[in-house]
């Protein structure tokens, strides 16, 4: 009798938990604040030598705003606009790279091969 009761309670709880997911909002990539979509990043996940977190490579937040004729991206990071020297880089320097946007739902390579990527070229400073 106890086993049937426990099975019934477990079954009810599992069904209730699954049904509750029907009312959850879908995941969002960012938070809308005013006219900006913000996407926070961990403040302690960069790496430099044996140090983890808080290094000169740390990215804190990213934001995007769309106006009637442009899209603006903002990135808050410890890395300066001109980059920094690094013994690990082939040319001894690490700097901002290009920003690629893939709206296709395909892998980056597939979208690139099809010529369907959008990109913003990073300035040479």
pLDDT in tens, the chain (125 residues): 554 544 444 444 444 444 444 455 555 567 878 889 888 888 788 878 777 888 888 888 889 899 999 888 888 888 888 888 888 889 998 888 877 888 899 999 999 999 999 887 776 65
pTM: 0.56
Q: How many domains does the chain have?
A: 1
In a domain, 21, yes or no: no
In a domain, 104, yes or no: no
In 3D, which of 28, 38, 125, 29 has the Cα closest to residue 82?
Answer: 125
In a domain, 47, yes or no: yes
User: What is the DSSP-derived secondary structure letter of residue 113?
Assistant: H
In a domain, 75, yes or no: yes
Which residue segment(s) compose the domain that 70 sits in?
A: 26-94
In a domain, 120, yes or no: no
């Amino acid at each position: 009798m106890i086993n049937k009761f426990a099975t019934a309670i477990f079954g009810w709880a599992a069904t209730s938990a699954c049904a509750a997911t029907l009312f959850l909002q879908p995941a969002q990539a960012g938070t809308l604040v005013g006219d900006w979509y913000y996407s926070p990043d961990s403040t302690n996940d960069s790496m430099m030598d044996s140090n983890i977190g808080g290094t000169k490579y740390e990215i804190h937040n990213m934001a995007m705003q769309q106006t009637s004729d442009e899209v603006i991206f903002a990135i808050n990071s410890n890395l300066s606009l001109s980059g920094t020297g690094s013994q690990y880089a082939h040319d001894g320097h690490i700097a901002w790279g290009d920003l690629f946007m893939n709206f296709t739902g395909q892998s980056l390579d597939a979208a690139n091969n099809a010529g369907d990527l959008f990109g913003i070229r990073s300035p040479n400073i």
